[in-house]
Amino acid sequence: MVKIDQTVMFNSFLISLLLCSSWIKITYCSKQAGVARKDDIPFIKCQVCEKLAKELYEQVRDKQAEISPKKISEYDVIEISENVCNLKKREADWILKIDIVEQGDRLELVEQDSEGQCGSECKTIERACQEVLGYYDTDVAEYIYKKKPTLSSLVNFLCKDTTKACSTKPPPVPKGREPGEVFVPKSAKEAEMEKMLKSMEGMPGAPGMKMYSREELMSGKGLDDEDDDDDDEDQSYPSNLGKILREKEKNNKKVDWKQKITEGIKNVGEATKKHATKTAFKLQKWWKAKKAAFTQQKSKSGKVEL
């Protein structure tokens, strides 16, 4: 129990550091960035499958190179295949670099140089990827692990033999199709922050989170979208956060962020120690009471039997 509480506090501290040093607010949010256009999936399913096979092949190869001279385990391959179509995981970052472009009566997946903002097109590719892989993720992982196929062999196995995603030609795109959004690249800083959040996914105290840029904070955008359950947590932040940020920008004072981190670590260490001691004391008190009640109950039952 104490261990989990310390982890929660550390994660909260890390999030606070990101807020102070990068002026990006991280908030708990269950909203998704865009909705998948299911009607577009038949037009891109085969292309998504081919890119998926390429990603699986390259990620397994890169993982092997990373842990060499050790051999990659089947578990590692399964983990990659389970996460490669989930945008919450870093294995699916490849989806963020793809733009859906309409060319005549076809939809073309065009790879960009950098990651883009995740809108409906990003979600559509994710959904298509999940439909292709479906329940075959472990089968595909086993095939990769045991057969160690070439890229072309993996494409045939995944897209033709197993899922049939490329067994037929995609239908023509209807003329009245509404165009998708424009591909908007992320800044390097934003991409780096999102990677950090993904690496924290699943850690205690760090569920699904969303970032707001400095400009969004100053305009107040998104600040009113928090869940009612988080009101108690938000009381520690000033309600006029945008005004404070504007004043800070106006002052244009340089802050030694390294010193801030050092002081923060020192403070959180002391706070963690106090919190751990308090929790341990409560746990000890609860256990003594529980033990006393159990002993008393056992004593009474013994007298009844006599």
* pLDDT tens digits, 76-120: 999 999 999 999 999 999 999 999 999 999 999 999 999 999 999
Q: Label residue 21 by pLDDT band (50, 70, 90).
A: very low
What is the pLDDT, as a whole number, of residue 96? 95
Residue 85's φ and ψ, nearest 5 degrees, are -115, 15
Which residue ranges make up each domain of the chain? 1-29+207-289, 38-162
**Residue 62 corresponds to which tokens in the numbers above?**
């890169």
Q: Lowest-confidence range among 16-20, 23-27, 167-171, 201-205?
A: 23-27
CA–CA dist 48, 42 (Å, integer): 10
Per DSSP, what are the bridge partners of residue 211? Answer: 26
pLDDT at 199 over 80: no
Asked if 87 and 122 touch (Cβ cutoff 8 Å), the reply is yes
Average pLDDT (251-278) is 63
Per DSSP, what are the bridge partners of residue 101? Answer: 108
Q: Running DSSP on this structure, what letter comes out for residue 185?
A: B
Q: Whole-model pTM?
A: 0.59
pLDDT at 126 over 70: yes
Asked if 233 and 8 touch (Cβ cutoff 8 Å), the reply is no
Which helix (H) or strand (E) covers residue 118, if one does? none
Start-end of H helices in the chain: 2-22, 41-67, 74-83, 120-133, 137-147, 151-156, 188-200, 214-219, 231-234, 241-251, 257-305
